[in-house]
């Protein structure tokens, strides 16, 4: 943490470039070098404050900071430093101006299985690095895969470590969390959840299915029905879009989307799979895939309708969506605007 100086003495705060996850992200320019960074700003609850399911605790925020400061990998967003002042924490993050991977795939002039392999391998190597350091991301999804430069899918970075945690051993994680379409079945199996880093490999399998098929393997507008489909783990490659995809790619997906985490491929087995070791082949354009992505974009980004609080099906952490989140972000934005006005 930078001490003895205010953030606005070091950085010039600019326009808001994003919101989400109880945070506001602003453009920050280093006053000494002119270098641009992304400043993620979060309200910091007072120590000992009681909080509800729609708030991030002080401990949650500092867990994210602790994890980010320990990471340095070409496919993971870099955090430079952070400041704590006025009951807020300011994270100085690498500026990623390329947008989301899905948008880049849709905008590219030519998208092939080789391109999907390149994207997937970047993600897998980042996951390998995280797991080697005892960290589970727990929220891998297309929206958290960002590009350094626009339309350049050769350099992807994993972002948003708000749900990431360190783990002490098999089954050490117990919190039911994640994004519904990407969540692993062991997290929502019912009863007390106990799981480990295998959940990230399930999410990687979902991402690969979408990158090659253009639609999610499990979808329902109802969250309980979606979770039931995930727990059963039943999907197929009958859609016509898969006729252009190699058998090796479909085999890898099938070995990642395995309900029992003990039978799911490990990270090393994924990297040793024939599809991942294939030389740069599969250059044929996946026109049906990109067409399907465009028609399925609502399915790829929409959150399903949650069950009632009394339902027997465990629900994903409500802190990732909903009106409460919008109000929290609005409140934070108003506080920041007032601070900026007072500083003038």
Active-site annotation holder among 139, 160, 200, 220: 139
Catalytic annotation present for 66: no
Q: How many residues does the chain have?
A: 344
* Angle at which helices 113-132 and 198-213 cross, to 10°: 170
Find the DSSP H helices in the chain.
Answer: 7-10, 58-69, 101-107, 113-132, 198-213, 223-232, 247-256, 267-272, 274-277, 287-295, 297-301, 323-343
- Determine the Cα–Cα distance for residues 315 and 222; give it in Å rounded to an integer: 12
The answer to whether 132 and 126 are in contact (CB under 8 A) is no
- Determine the Cα–Cα distance for residues 303 and 183; give it in Å rounded to an integer: 12
| C-beta neighbour count of 61 within 10 angstroms | 22
Query: What are the residue numbers of the active site?
Result: 139
């Amino acid at each position: 943490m930078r001490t003895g100086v205010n953030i606005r003495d070091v950085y010039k705060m600019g326009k808001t470039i994003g919101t989400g996850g109880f945070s506001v992200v602003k453009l920050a320019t280093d006053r000494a070098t002119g270098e641009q960074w992304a400043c993620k700003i979060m309200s910091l609850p007072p120590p000992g404050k009681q909080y509800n399911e729609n708030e991030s605790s002080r401990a949650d925020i500092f867990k994210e900071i602790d994890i980010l400061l320990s990471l340095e990998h070409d496919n993971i967003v870099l955090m430079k430093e952070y400041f704590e002042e006025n009951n807020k924490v300011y994270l100085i993050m690498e500026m990623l101006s390329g947008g989301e991977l899905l948008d880049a795939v849709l905008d590219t002039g030519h998208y092939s299985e080789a391109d999907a392999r390149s994207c997937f391998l970047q993600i897998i190597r980042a996951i390998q690095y995280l797991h080697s350091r005892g960290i589970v991301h727990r929220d891998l999804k297309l929206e958290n895969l960002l590009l350094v430069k626009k339309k350049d899918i050769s350099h992807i970075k994993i972002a948003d470590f708000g749900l990431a945690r360190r783990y002490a051993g098999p089954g050490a994680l117990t919190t039911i969390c994640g994004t519904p379409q990407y969540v692993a079945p062991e997290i929502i199996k019912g009863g007390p959840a106990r799981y480990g880093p295998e959940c990230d490999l399930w999410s990687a399998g979902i991402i690969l299915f979408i990158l090659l098929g253009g639609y999610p393997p499990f979808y329902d507008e109802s969250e309980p029905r979606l979770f039931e489909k995930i727990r059963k783990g039943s999907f197929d490659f009958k859609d016509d879009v898969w006729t252009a995809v190699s058998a090796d790619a479909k085999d890898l997906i099938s070995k990642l989307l395995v309900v029992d985490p003990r039978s799911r491929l490990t990270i090393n087995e994924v990297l040793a799979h024939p599809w991942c070791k294939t030389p740069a082949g599969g250059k044929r354009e996946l026109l049906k895939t990109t067409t399907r992505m465009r028609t399925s974009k609502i399915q790829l980004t929409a959150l399903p309708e949650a069950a009632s609080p009394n339902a027997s099906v465990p629900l994903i952490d409500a802190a990732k969506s909903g009106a409460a989140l919008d109000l929290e972000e609005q409140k934070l934005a108003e506080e920041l605007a007032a601070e900026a006005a007072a500083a003038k």
